[in-house]
């Protein structure tokens, strides 16, 4: 059941009505049944995986919470339960990748070997809910949170339908208290949630799906394209991926808000970031903070020597790349971001004693340069993220500036190759204007709250224009999956 499907359009209002009609102490039952129904709609077999994860982690957390004095055994239970999660993830997501690469390595040294491959469908959202499970177990072990005693409530925490497919990766300290103590209905919160969902649908339907046509056209048939076509397709992909993923997140956060639950915001205008470090503080925030707290800091973070610090950064981003998919493209993409951060940490203007860090005016002037440079660096890395193979990524890099000496011909060849006339190009880029303005203003204010405070004759035309934009620019009759569902 996709968020952008008619089925979800019926599902959510029904759950909304049942949830608020039901007495508070039984609302978690509505959430549990609806979440498992939602997850089962992707395949009944997937339910067994998420249920197994829930049962094992629930029992392990109870032991960790009740036996705080048995330190050696607690540590062993934590290691075993975390390993169980990682083995499950490896089995479904990485087994074939490692098997194929090991076989290829043996063949290189003249040892014949055929890879053992498993024909298993990747359970939807497994990377998200397993990382959430691991953080819960570690937090209980550390004593940051108590173990949840109610199995049903804990099952909701793992499977809550707005976030189970693509996150955010929630922490127990934030979500579990909200499930234990449901709030009364608040019109403003529900209204805000619906507006947030509308904005998410605009990003997904009017921008991501529209741009995906041109991105797929080029990246799925690279030998037919050279020059500016490759640059434009890469730029379109950067916007497509952002709108697709953040659009999903807005719909997820909005769906939870109308049920009185606040999930973690996952994006904060990432393409206005002034550095790669700043970008990762704005992009997929729940994963970035997870990697920081459960990989980077345990490795030593920045509390170690310079070389070890660089290794910690690189390791963390390699893990991030591998988390995204079982492919060397993703690993290299993560490694590129790790190298970016290492180089960035050595730049003189990023040091604490630098005048650019102490003086706001100098910092603002520096940002005029670093923001577009950061976007270009992020866009460069997206090539490896989108290309099907490393060879495809190399092809893009080798051919994206072919013919740039004659700028007019360079641009004209793109129009011919992609079948884009000037009016058609402008039409496809029009939805970028509200996206740019929204993200720009969101740097200093909550745009939805700001519009909501305006008078009737101001805010309602904005709502109507947003609805018309969704209807006008969305791909008619097309229901596309969200990109991050594959992770």
Which residues participate in catalysis according to the annotation?
324
CA distance 164 to 127: 10
Contact 95, 134 (CB under 8 A): no
Q: Decide: helix, strand or coil at residue 471.
A: helix
| Token representation of residue 40 | 């089962």
Q: Largest Cα–Cα distance in the chain?
A: 75
Secondary structure of 195-233 as H, E, C letters = HHHHHHHHHHHHHHHHHHHHHHHHHCCHHHCCCHHHHHH
175: Cβ contacts below 8 Å, ≥ 6 apart: 157, 160, 261, 263
* Cα distance between residue 320 and residue 331, in whole Å: 8
For 119, phi then psi, to 5°, come to -95, 80
Helical axes 209-219 vs 228-257, angle rounded to 10°:
140
Distance of CA 366 to the CA centre of its chain: 28
């Amino acid at each position: 059941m996709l968020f952008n499907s008619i089925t979800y359009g019926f599902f959510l209002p029904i759950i909304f009505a049942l949830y608020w009609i039901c007495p508070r102490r039984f609302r978690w039952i509505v959430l549990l049944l609806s979440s498992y129904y939602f997850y089962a709609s992707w395949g009944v077999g997937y339910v067994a995986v998420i249920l197994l994860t829930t049962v094992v982690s629930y029992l392990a957390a109870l032991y960790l919470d009740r036996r705080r004095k048995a330190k050696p055994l607690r540590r062993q239970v934590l290691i075993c339960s975390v390993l169980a999660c990682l083995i499950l993830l490896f089995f479904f997501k990485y087994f074939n990748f490692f098997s194929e690469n090991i076989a290829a390595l043996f063949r290189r040294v003249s040892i014949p070997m055929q890879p053992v491959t498993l024909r298993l469908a990747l359970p939807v959202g497994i990377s998200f809910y397993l990382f959430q499970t691991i953080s819960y177990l570690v937090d209980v072990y550390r004593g940051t949170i108590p173990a949840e005693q109610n199995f049903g409530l804990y099952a909701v925490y793992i499977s809550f339908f707005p976030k189970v497919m693509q996150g955010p990766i929630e922490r127990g300290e934030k979500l579990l208290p909200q499930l234990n103590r449901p709030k009364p209905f608040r019109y403003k919160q529900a209204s805000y949630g619906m507006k947030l969902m509308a904005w998410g649908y605009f990003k997904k339907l009017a921008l991501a799906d529209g741009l995906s046509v041109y991105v797929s056209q080029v990246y799925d048939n690279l030998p037919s394209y050279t020059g500016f076509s490759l640059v434009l397709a890469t730029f379109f992909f950067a916007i497509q991926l952002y709108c697709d993923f953040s659009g999903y997140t807005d719909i997820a956060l909005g769906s939870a808000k109308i049920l009185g639950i606040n999930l973690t915001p996952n994006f904060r205008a990432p393409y206005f970031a002034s550095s790669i470090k700043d970008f990762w503080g704005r992009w997929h925030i729940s994963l970035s903070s997870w990697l920081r707290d459960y990989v980077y800091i345990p490795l030593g973070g920045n509390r170690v020597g310079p070389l070890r610090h660089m290794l910690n950064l690189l390791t963390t981003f390699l893990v991030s790349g591998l988390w995204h998919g079982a492919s060397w493209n993703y690993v290299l993409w993560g490694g590129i971001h790790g190298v970016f951060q290492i180089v960035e940490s050595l730049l003189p203007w990023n040091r604490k004693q630098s005048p650019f860090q102490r003086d706001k005016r100098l910092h603002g002037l520096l940002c005029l340069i670093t923001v577009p440079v950061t976007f270009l660096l992020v866009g460069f890395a997206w090539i490896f993220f989108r290309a099907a193979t490393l060879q495809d990524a190399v092809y893009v890099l080798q051919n994206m500036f072919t013919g740039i000496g004659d700028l007019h011909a360079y641009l004209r060849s793109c129009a011919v190759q992609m079948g884009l006339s000037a009016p058609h190009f402008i039409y496809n880029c029009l939805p970028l204007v509200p996206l740019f303005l929204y993200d720009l203003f969101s740097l200093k204010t909550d745009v939805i709250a700001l519009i909501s405070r305006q008078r009737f004759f101001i805010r309602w035309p904005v709502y109507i224009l947003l609805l018309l934009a969704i209807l006008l620019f969305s791909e008619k009759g097309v229901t596309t999956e969200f990109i991050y569902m594959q992770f």
